A and B are shown apart, each in its own frame.
Chain A
Amino acid sequence: MAVPPGVSESDFAAALDEFRAAVGAEWVFTSDEDVALYRDAYSPFWGEPEERVASAAVAPSTVEQVQAVVRAANARRIPLYPISTGRNLAYGGSAPVYSGSVVLDLKRMNRVIEVNEANAYALVEPGVSYFDLYNYIEERGLDVWIDPPDPGWGSVIGNALDGGGGWTAYPFRDHFGAHCGMEVVLGDGEVVRTGMGAVPNSKTWQENKWGYGPWVDGLFRQSNMGVVTKMGFWLMPRPEAYISGTVQVFNERDIIPLMETLNLLENQHVVNGSTQLGAGFGNDGAAWTLQVPIYGPEKVVRAQLEYAREKFAAIEGSRFVEEDPIRTPLSDEDRARVRLVNFGIPNLSTFAMLGRSPMQPNPPGGHIGFSPIIPRNGEELLKFRDFYRTNLAEVTGGENLGIVGPVFMTNWERSLVGLIMFPISKNASENRKIRAAFERWVELAAEQGWAEYRAPAVFQDTVAETYSFNDHALRRLRERIKDAIDPNGIISAGRYGVWPKHLRKDA
C-alpha cells in the first residue's frame, strides 16, 4: 500500500481507520487494484515514475461524511484530492495533481436536490452527471434544458469547477458563469454557503448570484480552496426553436470583417448559440465558413437571423444559407440528425474522435489539448494560424507526432480559443515527445501574449508560469489565500499551479 509523501505509516493507518469509521469500510479503497482505478487513462506520463497517482480513495455520501473525512485528514496532514464524477479525461481523469494524495471521490453524492421550472434553476450534489440531471428533468416533464459538454457522464459541478463549457446558448454554456450559489467544506471541516445561501432560511440561494459583501465563489474555480458539496445552476427555459445560418466568405482576409460582424451580433446577444468556424474545407471554394445558431421563440429567432443575414451581407462576395428552424421538443427525425448537445441532450458520441477509423485503425487512445485564449479578431486569428504553421516543425523536430491544429473555437464570449490537439498513448517514448511539444507551445504562445484557460493536470505548473505579471503577484496572492484558509495544505495540492507552503519550490 502506498503512503502519502511526508506522512508516517502509522498516521496514515490511523487516518484510514477514521475514514472507515466515517464512510464505512467498503468505501475506503486501499488495495493496489482498487487504487489503480483512479489512474488517469489519458496520462501523458502513463507508466512512468512521474505519473500522478493516488495512495488511496475514500467515498463519502453526505456532507457530514465529507466533513468527518476532511477533519481526519487535516489532523494528520493527509493530502486529499476531491473529484465529483472523476471523468476529467484529457485534463487528468480521476488522478490527483499531487502524487500520493487520497482521492476524495464524491460520486456517491448524487442527489438532484431541486429543479425549479418556474425560475429555471437546479441545485445538485457533485456526483450528479449531466445524464442524471437530464433524466430527472425528463422524468418529471419539466420545461427546462441543461447544457451538457460533449461527454454526458461528467459532473455538473466538476465540469463547472474545472472551467468546462457546453454547446447550447449563452450564458448557459459557460458552466461556472451559469452557477448560482455553492456549499463548500473548507480544509478544517467547516461548511460555508455562498451568496444568498448564507442567510438562514434563505429563499433565493439559486436566484441571486452575488448576495452581500465580497464575492468568494471564484475562489473555488480551478482551485484547491475547498471541497464543493452543492452548487446551483441557472438553466435555460426550453427554447421554442433553434435556427441556424451559414456564412461563407471566399477571401482569406474576409475573416477580418467576418469576426467583426460576429462579435457585434454576439455582443448584442442577437446570436446566442455556439457558433462554429471552419477554415477552408469543402469544395465550395470558401475560405471561411461560419455557422451561427440562435435559440428562442420561433418568431423572434427568425427576425434575429434576418438581422444577422443583413449584417453579414455587408461582406463583399459573402454567401448566406439559412436553415429551416428546428422546433423543440425534437421530433424523432430531428433527433437522429442533429448534434444532440446543441439541444441539451447528453451523450458520449464525442469519443468517436478517439476511436478506430479507416484513417486510424490503431488509435493512440487518448488526447490532450492546448487551448490558449487569443483576441477575437481576424488579424490575430491569422497571426495565430501563421504562428502554428511557422513553429510546428521546430516544436516537433520535424516529426509527424499526430498534432492537429489550429482549431478556432468561438464558444466563449468575447475571446477566441486557438486549440491545438495532441494524441496520448500508453507508449512512453511517444508521450515524451508530445510532452516536450506541449511545453514548447506554451512557451512560444506566451511570448505572443497568449495563455491557456484550462490545462491537463501535469501541465498546470507550466501554464501557471505564464501568468507572471509583476513577478507572479497573482500566484502569490492565491498562495496567501491558500495559506490562510487551508494552512495545512491538505486540499488538492498543486491544482492549477497553487501549492501549499510546505510544497512550494522555495519551501
Chain B
Amino acid sequence: MKVRHIVAAFGAAVLGAMGSTGGVAQVASAQDSADAADGRQVFEYWCAPCHAPGPGHPGTQSLELKYGGNLPAPLEEREDLTPEVVKTFVRQGILSMAPFRKTEITDAELEDLAAYLAQ
C-alpha cells in the first residue's frame, strides 16, 4: 500500500523550487536509471493539478466515474499502473488530456515519472 500524504505537504515547496529553475531539474540522460523521487516532482508539477485527490481535479473526477470505485481515482493510489501504461498515456493523451511534448517532459523525466507512478 502506498501512503503518500507527505506528497501534499511537499507539493508547495517542490513547486516553489521549480519556479526558480523554471522547470523540472534536467536528468543527465535517459540511460540513467529511473528515479522515483524525481518522478514525484514531475508529477507534482505536471499531473497533480488534474490528478491530485479531492475536488477541483478534473482527471481524478473523470477517473472516479470511469471506474466507479473499482480502482482508486487518484493516480498515486493506483497499484495497477505499469511504466509502459503511464508513458503511453502521457505521450498519446486521452480525452481532454492533451499529450505532453518533450520540451515539457523529457524522456528522462518521463522514465522517472513512470517509475514513481508504478512503484
Binding site for B on A (CB under 8 A): 27, 29, 33-34, 36-39, 41-42, 57, 59, 86-87, 89, 93-94, 105, 107-108, 110-112, 127-128, 131-136, 138-139, 152-153, 340, 347-352, 354-358, 361, 363, 365-366
Are A351 and B100 in touch, CB under 8 angstroms?
no
User: Given the complex, which residues of B lie within 8 Å of A354, measured CB to CB?
Assistant: 58, 95-96
18 further A-B pairs in the complex, CB-CB below 8 A; given A348-B57, A349-B57:
A33-B91, A37-B99, A41-B99, A105-B101, A108-B103, A127-B23, A136-B19, A136-B20, A138-B16, A139-B19, A350-B58, A351-B96, A352-B56, A354-B96, A355-B95, A356-B61, A356-B66, A365-B95
Are B95 and A111 in touch, CB under 8 angstroms?
no
What is the 8 Å Cβ interface bit string for chain B, positions 44-64, against chain A (1 contact, 0 not)?
010001100000111101100
Bound CA–CA A87/B17 (angstroms): 23
Measured CB to CB, the closest approach of chain B to A448, in angstroms, equals: 32
Are B19 and A107 in touch, CB under 8 angstroms?
no
Bound CA–CA A350/B101 (angstroms): 21
B20-73 contacts to A (CB < 8 Å): 20, 22-23, 45, 49-50, 56-59, 61-62, 65-66
Are A37 and B22 in touch, CB under 8 angstroms?
no
B15 close to chain A: CB less than 8 A? yes
User: Given the complex, which residues of A lie within 8 Å of B59, measured CB to CB?
Assistant: 351, 355
User: Given the complex, which residues of A lie within 8 Å of B97, measured CB to CB?
Assistant: 351
Range for the number of chain B residues in contact with chain A: 20 to 34
- B15, B16, B91, B101: the one contacting A107 at CB < 8 Å is B101
B18 close to chain A: CB less than 8 A? yes
User: Given the complex, which residues of A lie within 8 Å of B91, measured CB to CB?
Assistant: 33, 37
Q: Which residue of the partner chain A has the closest CB to B64?
A: A356
Q: Which residue of the partner chain B has the closest CB to A367?
A: B96
Measured CB to CB, the closest approach of chain B to A95, in angstroms, equals: 11
Measured CB to CB, the closest approach of chain B to A181, in angstroms, equals: 20
B79 close to chain A: CB less than 8 A? no
Binding site for A on B (CB under 8 A): 12, 15-20, 22-23, 45, 49-50, 56-59, 61-62, 65-66, 91, 93, 95-104
Measured CB to CB, the closest approach of chain A to B66, in angstroms, equals: 6
A41-B93 contact given A111-B22, A131-B15, A132-B22, CB 8 Å threshold = yes
Bound CA–CA A107/B106 (angstroms): 12
A38-B101 contact given A112-B19, A152-B49, CB 8 Å threshold = yes
User: Given the complex, which residues of A lie within 8 Å of B18, measured CB to CB?
Assistant: 132, 135
* 21 residue pairs from A and B, CB less than 8 Å apart: A29-B102, A33-B91, A37-B101, A41-B98, A105-B101, A107-B104, A127-B22, A131-B15, A131-B19, A131-B49, A132-B18, A132-B19, A139-B17, A348-B49, A349-B49, A352-B62, A354-B58, A354-B95, A355-B58, A355-B59, A356-B66
Most buried by B among A87, A139, A357: A139
Query: Nearest 5 CB-CB pairs, A to B?
Result: A135-B19, A355-B62, A110-B22, A354-B96, A41-B98
User: Given the complex, which residues of A lie within 8 Å of B23, measured CB to CB?
Assistant: 108, 110, 127, 132
Bound CA–CA A153/B103 (angstroms): 14
Are A37 and B100 in touch, CB under 8 angstroms?
yes
Bound CA–CA A86/B103 (angstroms): 10
Measured CB to CB, the closest approach of chain A to B17, in angstroms, equals: 8
Are A358 and B65 in touch, CB under 8 angstroms?
yes
Measured CB to CB, the closest approach of chain A to B52, in angstroms, equals: 10
A34-B102 contact given A348-B49, A356-B66, CB 8 Å threshold = yes
Q: Which residue of the partner chain A has the closest CB to B22?
A: A110
Measured CB to CB, the closest approach of chain A to B37, in angstroms, equals: 20
Q: Which residue of the partner chain A has the closest CB to B95?
A: A365
User: Given the complex, which residues of A lie within 8 Å of B99, measured CB to CB?
Assistant: 36-37, 39, 41
- A42, A135, A357, A363: the one contacting B98 at CB < 8 Å is A42
Measured CB to CB, the closest approach of chain B to A456, in angstroms, equals: 14
User: Given the complex, which residues of A lie within 8 Å of B17, measured CB to CB?
Assistant: 139
Bound CA–CA A110/B26 (angstroms): 13
Are A363 and B56 in touch, CB under 8 angstroms?
no
Are A349 and B58 in touch, CB under 8 angstroms?
yes
Are B61 and A355 in touch, CB under 8 angstroms?
yes
User: Given the complex, which residues of B lie within 8 Å of A87, measured CB to CB?
Assistant: 98
Measured CB to CB, the closest approach of chain A to B11, in angstroms, equals: 11
- B57, B65, B103: the one contacting A361 at CB < 8 Å is B65
Measured CB to CB, the closest approach of chain B to A244, in angstroms, equals: 20
User: Given the complex, which residues of B lie within 8 Å of A36, measured CB to CB?
Assistant: 99
Q: Which residue of the partner chain B has the closest CB to A351?
A: B58
A349-B56 contact given A34-B102, A107-B104, A365-B95, CB 8 Å threshold = yes
Are A112 and B22 in touch, CB under 8 angstroms?
yes
Bound CA–CA A119/B80 (angstroms): 51
Bound CA–CA A15/B22 (angstroms): 29
Bound CA–CA A352/B19 (angstroms): 26
Bound CA–CA A27/B50 (angstroms): 28
Measured CB to CB, the closest approach of chain B to A80, in angstroms, equals: 15
Are B98 and A107 in touch, CB under 8 angstroms?
no
- B56, B96, B101: the one contacting A365 at CB < 8 Å is B96
Are B56 and A366 in touch, CB under 8 angstroms?
no
User: Given the complex, which residues of B lie within 8 Å of A59, measured CB to CB?
Assistant: 103
Measured CB to CB, the closest approach of chain A to B28, in angstroms, equals: 12
